[in-house]
Structure 1
């Protein structure tokens, strides 16, 4: 099935050291023996260093490298344990394995899984998170890793039963099993700032984060559909969910693209608003989310992980400035309908703040 050019209002960018980052991540995967030999050979060809370089085009090189190694590690878990491994069909055993890994992330000094390469790689990642991030950022990274682990166990329960979730359940699961939230603290680390709690806890910021996750994972589902259908066994993405609801494959593709377009339009408006009414750190964070979205798109249409040159996927080579659906109405998916409650109807005025600083009694500006 042909994937048409996708809507993207965000400019592309890439870190100038992307080639070196690719090579360094390949060496890291080999030194830590991430995944099976066959899986590792495949992963190091996917230009994951370039993916991180697109997501953090202006970031500190050490943190961009951390991001690249972490994403490769995540693919080792997702491909090796969940999608291709037997554990991916045994949710109870998978939960136990992931909880032991989570303990390694929480307490890398704990004498657990000392001979396990994935645990060894995770210990190295946690050490670098502590080196380049604050204690709060490290805690959020571990907390988001817990969300990711919890969601892939949920996915494994569907894989074991051969069932397809409802669209609302799938949307909720996909906000976390794409591991997008685990990247959010790294966006801050790469630029050397930390979003303050009075802004981080603001409802509109959470909406912007979830919208970014939605667009990134919907794009991933659309661009990986050919690869997944050509594989063997159970697969799950939004196109399959929509087809299970009665749509033809082409109708499902059209619908999924319209959904991500509508969310991306809303995200762009909300991110612009928060950039005006927020702190300088808020503006950096919104820029980071934008780079995350566009970097995922550029990598998705170019990496052999999805282009599958041995059986070429019909992916677009570029993007369009025009959404197929620019409606300001909610999607009608229960799990995320609240997003539109915080999307401003009009552009923000400069000088307004998004939330009170500690000790202030009321909002100076609200959305």
Structure 2
């Protein structure tokens, strides 16, 4: 799909918000990246220009400033690993070399005092992140952060195997691994830390709450695939993207692949709203805060995705939307037909979606909504059926 498609405004029923000290946080993250020499000089300055501090300030708009700075530094570090080692570095096509390198970094995350990678800037940055986390997090939160980092590392090795072989995964495998390689789950402990609580296991590990978190991962990563497609498809490196998966394995034209992906994320967004409505009715105050933070994470990724130079690529401008729409293109309550995530629909209370009265427009990036588009339920069903035959 190298010739590109026009990304439409996406459905966004969640209000925007940002921490009032976002500019200072963004500058502090730039200073941190330079102090720890994250990535090559060229990559470092590019990452600094992506305004990652404002992204973190949107994720935790009412959170503790120190945790927001920690989150911003961590996200920049993740991009240093992903861009430097995986997507653009030599290790990104060599899984056998990537595994031990990431395993060494994982050991640093587990035990920052170990005498390993003492001259490595990414390891030095990770040591700093872990030590700062120890000052703010409970042992359980740290353990979950390390476990999520392991999941992320495993998924980028999977990506490297496809780069090495030049293959495109099927929709089910792509959906499953996208839950991890988007580095969304590693943010979850910081959502709790930012507001000074720890969600109890009987709530966090319950099937409905796990499903709600995964729905948020799905919407965030599908949106990222839409916003990043221009950048990825014009690069010289192999790339993985849901639009490429749909076109390659399901024989869809570029415009139909785009419509299908948008409808998939819209259907999951509607499901997320229904799930949160049900959980909020009986959940603890901590669970309600957690669910609100999941929504903030979704909206933060949207606002940042259509405004950051990482995706607008001023040197080769991407024609991204500057507004959002108030209505979904697909609000069906039927599962997508992707085996890895079909269980989400069984976990949601059987009740109507809440009526949203608030505007879905961003605070800084524009007003007005996109024109409604026709649902593509039939196309989704066809893709889902083909997906089941490949599972």
**Are residues 1:154 and 2:158 paired?**
yes
Structure 2 Cα separation of the partners of residues 33 and 290 of structure 1: 33
**Are residues 1:97 and 2:101 paired?**
yes
Task: Please name the residue that 1:261 is paired with.
Answer: 266
SS in 1 for 2:45: helix
Structure 1 Cα separation of the partners of residues 55 and 341 of structure 2: 27
Task: Please name the residue that 1:365 is paired with.
Answer: none
CA deviation vs aligned residue, 1:131-177 (integer Å, no higher than 9, x gap): 11111001100110000000100111001000000000000000000
Task: Please name the residue that 1:320 is paired with.
Answer: 325
Tell me by how many angstroms 1:274 deviates: 1.0
User: Would you say the 8 A contact 1:209–1:289 is kept in 2?
Assistant: yes
SS in 2 for 1:8: coil
Task: Please name the residue that 1:167 is paired with.
Answer: 171
Task: Please name the residue that 1:305 is paired with.
Answer: 310
**Are residues 1:176 and 2:186 paired?**
no
**Are residues 1:5 and 2:1 paired?**
no
Structure 2 Cα separation of the partners of residues 24 and 281 of structure 1: 29
Report how many residues are paired.
Answer: 348
CA deviation vs aligned residue, 1:59-89 (integer Å, no higher than 9, x gap): 1000000000000000000000000001000
CA deviation vs aligned residue, 1:28-65 (integer Å, no higher than 9, x gap): 00000000111001000000000000111001000000
Structure 1 Cα separation of the partners of residues 352 and 68 of structure 2: 33
User: Would you say the 8 A contact 2:199–2:286 is kept in 1?
Assistant: yes
Structure 1 Cα separation of the partners of residues 66 and 99 of structure 2: 31
CA deviation vs aligned residue, 1:173-213 (integer Å, no higher than 9, x gap): 00000110000000000000010011111000110010000
Structure 2 Cα separation of the partners of residues 75 and 179 of structure 1: 10
Tell me by how many angstroms 1:90 deviates: 0.2
Task: Please name the residue that 2:359 is paired with.
Answer: none
Task: Please name the residue that 1:286 is paired with.
Answer: 291
Tell me by how many angstroms 1:92 deviates: 1.1
User: Would you say the 8 A contact 1:9–1:321 is kept in 2?
Assistant: yes
Q: 1:136 aligns with which of 117, 137, 140?
A: 140
Task: Please name the residue that 1:212 is paired with.
Answer: 216
User: Would you say the 8 A contact 2:87–2:237 is kept in 1?
Assistant: no
Q: 1:49 aligns with which of 36, 50, 53?
A: 53
**Are residues 1:85 and 2:89 paired?**
yes
SS in 1 for 2:342: helix
RMSD of Structure 2 on Structure 1 (CA): 0.9
Task: Please name the residue that 1:227 is paired with.
Answer: 231
Q: 1:277 aligns with which of 254, 277, 282?
A: 282
Structure 1 Cα separation of the partners of residues 323 and 207 of structure 2: 33
Which runs of structure 2 are paired with 1:120-135 in the superposition (5 Å)?
120-135=124-139
Structure 2 unmatched ranges of 5 or more: 354-391
**Are residues 1:24 and 2:6 paired?**
no
Tell me by how many angstroms 1:13 deviates: 0.3
CA deviation vs aligned residue, 1:256-301 (integer Å, no higher than 9, x gap): 0000000000001101211121101000000010000000000000
Task: Please name the residue that 1:353 is paired with.
Answer: none
Tell me by how many angstroms 1:347 deviates: 5.8
Structure 2 Cα separation of the partners of residues 96 and 169 of structure 1: 24
SS in 1 for 2:343: helix
Structure 1 Cα separation of the partners of residues 213 and 246 of structure 2: 24
CA deviation vs aligned residue, 1:239-258 (integer Å, no higher than 9, x gap): 11001021111111110000
**Are residues 1:15 and 2:19 paired?**
yes
Q: Which runs of 4+ in 1 moved over 2 A?
A: none
Larger displacement relative to structure 2 (338-347 or 283-292):
338-347
Structure 1 unmatched ranges of 5 or more: 349-367
User: Would you say the 8 A contact 1:273–1:347 is kept in 2?
Assistant: no
Structure 2 Cα separation of the partners of residues 159 and 277 of structure 1: 45
